[in-house]
Amino acid sequence: MRVGAHVSIAGGVDNAVENQVDVGGNCGQIFTHSPQVWQDPNVGDDEAAAFREGTSERLDGPWVIHSSYLVNLCTPKDDLREKSVDSMQKEVDAAAKLDIPYVNVHLGAHTGAGVQQGLDNAVSALDDLDVPDDVTVLVESDAGSGTKLGGDFEHLAYVVEESRHDLDVCLDTAHAFAAGYDLSTPDAVDDALAEFDDVVGADRLACVHLNDSKHECGTNKDEHAHIGEGLIGEDGMRAFVNHDLVAGEDVPLVLETPHEDGRGFAWNVEKVRELRDEA
C-alpha cells in the first residue's frame, strides 16, 4: 500500500525523506518553496542527489510536487497567465531534477471569463509548457467554490482530453465531497468512482489526496478533517481506500490532513492502513 503525507522541505528538500519516514509514509508530496508567494524552486545539486538517493533507499514512492497556490491556469489576465506558466515550467523542471514523476496543479478560477473560456485558457497554458519526458502534470479536482474550475469531473476530462500533453488526474476526496460527489457510504463511493471512470477514465487516476471533510457534501467548502472523523466518515473512507479503482491499482494516497487534537500525519497514515486491513 502506498500512503504518505505532504511533508516539509525545511532545511533542504532532502529532509523530506526523513520527514516522510517519521510519519510512517512510503510516498508523499512536497512544495518546492512557499506556496503563497511567487518564488522559484531553489534546489542545489547536492541536496537533489541526497533526495534521490534517500528516496531510492528508504521509500517506495512516488513523490508529487504541488504547485504554488498562486498559479491560475484559467485566468483571462495575460500577466497572471505568464506568471503561472513560468512557475509551472520551473516546477516540472525541478521535478525532473529530483526524479519526481508528478507535478500537481489546480486549474484555478475563470474570474468572470466563463467556464468554457476558463477551461480553454487552462489547456492553452498547459500546452505552453515544455514537460520533461519523465514528468506528468496532474490536474487536481477542486471544491468548486466561486468561479474555480475542476469541481466537476467534466472539467477535468475536458482539460485532459484537449491538452497536447499526456495529463493525468489527482482526485482529492475532500474536494470531491465538497463539490457534490458523495463519498460517505459504500454505495456512494461506488457511484462516485463509477462516474469518475465514465467521465474521466480510471486510467487517468494517478494520485489521490486522501482527506476527510469538515463540511457537508455539496457545500463547496474546503476544510480537511482527520481520516474517518469528518463528514465522509469511517464507512466512506474504508470503502474508498478498498475500492478496486484505488486499491486494485495501488493508487498512491497522499494525506493533507490537519495537525490538531494532538494528532498529525502519523496518526492519519496509521488510520488509513487500519482501514485497508479491515477489508
- State how far the Cα of 65 lies from the Cα of 52, in Å rounded to an integer: 14
Element (H, E) at 74: none
- State how far the Cα of 22 lies from the Cα of 73, in Å rounded to an integer: 35
Q: Sketch out the chain's domains with CATH numbers.
A: 3-277 (3.20.20.150)
- 64 forms beta bridges with 29, 102
Structural contact between residues 123 and 159, judged by C-beta atoms closer than 8 angstroms = yes
- State how far the Cα of 149 lies from the Cα of 107, in Å rounded to an integer: 6
Structural contact between residues 246 and 236, judged by C-beta atoms closer than 8 angstroms = no
Helical spans, DSSP H, in the chain: 15-22, 45-58, 78-98, 115-127, 153-162, 173-178, 186-199, 233-241, 265-277
| Predicted confidence pLDDT, tens digits, the chain (279 residues) | 999 999 999 999 999 999 999 999 999 999 999 999 999 998 999 999 999 999 999 999 999 999 999 999 999 999 999 999 999 999 999 999 999 999 999 999 999 999 999 999 999 999 999 999 999 999 999 999 999 999 999 999 999 999 999 999 999 999 999 999 999 999 999 999 999 999 999 999 999 999 999 999 999 999 999 999 999 999 999 999 999 999 999 999 999 999 999 999 999 999 999 999 876
